[in-house]
Structure 1
Amino acid sequence: MSSVPQSRPWDVHRLPSAEGKTFLITGGNAGIGYFAAEQLAATGAVVVLGSRDPAKAEAAMGSIRSRVPGARVRHLRLDLADLSSLKTAVAGLDVGRLDAVVHNAGVALDAPPRRETEDGHELMFGTNHLGHFALTQWLAPLLSAASAGRVVTVGSFAARSERLDLGDLQSTQDYRPKRTYGRSKLAQMCFGFELDRRLRAAGSTVLSVVAHPGGALDSLTPSRPPVCETSRGERLRALPCALLVQGKAAGAWPVVRAVLDPEVRGGQLWGPRVFGLRGAPRREPVPSHMADPGVAAGLWAASQELAGTDARLGFR
């Protein structure tokens, strides 16, 4: 009898080598983005932190280098709220190919008033969704040049309870910060699934995958001074919450798996194993409202017009 070799179970603490690969993480200087960068740097890859703040990026790179000997990390100045700057920013990558981009950076406002980007877009929708939508166009040739490029979009558990209003994508008629944030993340996730459908239809080798961190609290996050600091008291007070949620280091696990795992396929959703809130990463069913082709087509057309992008986003 012959046996079929089994791939070893995914281990968040024993990641496969990514020597020779290059990954870009937007918002890689803080939060989920920082911990994804730290974990990916340990694989031997070149990790580029996309950030509009050079000082914060420098602090993040210093922290990663102190924990990952020989880490190859660099900074790319990137402002997703300024759509006109993105083409120039991508040129600054100065690479022949990009193996993955993690669309992670985001703005979350807790209270009014409604704010806009310099381009006149509502700040959360304009940064979280439109910025990444436009960035994808400029990265498309580099991702296509990789043998199996990936676009990993970081969504949010908050998007599950929201629905897009195609007639008011920028919350001009009814602005509620938490709802507007949830809808901006839902727009990102819808984009990620629709992008994969279009990539498959075009015969592209690039994959589009969506991941989310579940419930990721600052108080359960390991300290990485000066990037983030959690006191002993904060951690102790948050321990009961650890039954349901986790810190941001663990929240990065689904994102890292979506970047690295050769068994991941385009159009998939990855999140934490326990109720979608905590634990090791696993594949999840895609909620129907995130994969609705009619809503996705409407969102795509509106995004294309607002961001001024090519309909095919330049993939081949």
Structure 2
Amino acid sequence: MQWDVRRLPRADSKKFLVTGGNAGIGYFVAEQLATTGATVVLGSRDAAKAAAAMASIRSRVPGARLSHLQLDLASLKSTVDELDHLDAVVCNAGVLLDQPERRETEDGHELMFATNHLGHFALIGRLAPLLSGGRVVTTGSFTAKSVRLDLGDLQSARDYRPKDAYARSKLAQMLCGFELDRRLRAAGHATMSVVTHPGGALDSLTPSRPPVHLQTAGQRLRGLPAGILLQGKEAGAWPAVRAVLDPSVQGGQLWGPRVFGLRGEPRLEAVQGVFADKELAARVWSASVDLTGVDPLESRP
């Protein structure tokens, strides 16, 4: 099947959860999935922002089937009791801090590592009974290739630099996305795990979606040179949307933009380098179970 990012297949009977669906790439994942007729659940801790995002989607997708799930990924106490079943979850929400001070959550974890990785790891465990035969889609980042993980300092307590801490959190998340699929296959489960990344997705190249995102003419002009190599967040959503909908997608795959992994329509990428390190992935998985008290495989029915 020829994949067309602007002519998505119908998914009228499906239900998808998008974490961070109220802003950024997550918003566009939710908007695009809503065009298929599926029910799209926006996972967000801010009800007002979620309401604004849903209003924006409905203005572009008449009859969109949307709901909001109160979800704070920085807290391991978040629940998913409101959900009865799911066909896919897009683990997209994330936080990138630029302050030099290291911050911790109420659970005592470094904020970016907790939100980007541990929160999603625990969430998958809680969603496992609802996802039989469905898909777990992990939105990573190409910046994950630029760092190494210190298993003795996963949360950057000794070596905290915001950009590196962010990249480490995304690397841990992606490694566990690949490891999840290996463990699902080994256990004979039909659910599959797919990893994606959006390439270089900039606000200045992102179309306006008031009041969620507003782009001025000046911002658009200033962003044009970057558009040679990078793209906006609407296009950044394409790999995750394909990973949810395309029947040819398989577990354990990595999907990203076609042009140098930075921009363009989604394509299959080779899982290589640090992403293919099974021993490291297994050790990060084990550490994540210890830190969250949740094992996604043991949570399955």
Q: Same fold judged by TM-score > 0.5?
A: yes
- 1:194-218 deviation line (CA, Å, top 9, x unaligned): 0000000011100100011000000
Q: In the alignment, which of 176, 179, 185 is matched to residue 200 of structure 1?
A: 185
The aligned counterpart of 2:130 is 142
Partner of 2:98: helix, strand, or coil?
coil
The 8 Å contact of residues 207 and 267 in structure 1, kept in 2 or not, is answered as: yes
State the AA in 1 paired with 2:211: P
Distance in 1 between residues matched to 2:221 and 2:199, nearest whole Å:
21
Q: Is the 8 A contact 1:110 1:178 kept in 2?
A: yes
Q: Quote the residue 1:25 is aligned against.
A: 18
> Which of 179, 183, 188 matches 2:168?
183
Which one of the candidate residues 220, 223, 247 is aligned to 1:238?
223
Match of 2:119 in 1: 131
Code of the residue aligned with 1:171 in structure 2: it is S
3-state SS, counterpart of residue 91 of structure 1: coil
In the TM superposition, what are the counterparts of 1:54-73 in structure 2 within 5 Å? Answer: 54-73=47-66
**1:164 pairs with 2:149:** yes
What residue identity is the alignment partner of 1:152? V
Q: How much does 1:237 deviate? A: 1.2
C-alpha displacement of 1:311: 6.4
The unaligned stretches of length 5 or more in structure 1 are: 1-6
Deviations 1:158-209 (A, max 9, x none): 1111111111001111101000000100011001000000000011100100
1:102 is matched with 90
Per-residue deviation, residues 99-141 of structure 1 (Å, max 9, x unmatched): 0000000010112100001000000001110000000111000
1:14 pairs with one of 4, 7, 22: 7
In the aligned structure 1, how far is the partner of 2:296 from the partner of 2:60? Answer: 42
Counterpart of 1:44, as a letter, is G
1:264 equivalent in alignment to 2:249: yes
Q: 2:98·2:162 contact (CA, 8 Å) conserved in 1?
A: yes
2:282 aligned with 1:289, yes or no? no
Q: What aligned pairs does 1:111-126 form with structure 2 within 5 A after superposition?
A: 111-126=99-114
User: Quick one: distance in 2 between partners of 1:139 and 1:106?
Assistant: 18
Pick one of 202, 206, 210 that aligns with 1:225: 210
2:81 maps to 91
Per the normalisation by structure 2, the TM-score is 0.98
Provide the C-alpha distance between the structure 2 equivalents of 1:14 and 1:315, rounded to a whole number of angstroms. 34
C-alpha deviation, 1:274, in angstroms? 0.1
Identity of aligned residues (%): 71
Q: Distance in 2 between matches of 1:292 and 1:207?
A: 19
Q: Report the CA distance shift for 1:122/1:65 in structure 2 as closer, same or farther (over 3 A).
A: same
Query: How many correspondences in the alignment?
Result: 301
Aligned to 2:27: 34
Judged with a 3 Å threshold, the aligned counterparts in structure 2 of structure 1 residues 61 and 296 are, in CA distance, closer, same or farther, namely: same
1:85-111: per-residue Cα shift (whole Å, max 9, x none)? 2xxx31112x2x210000000010112
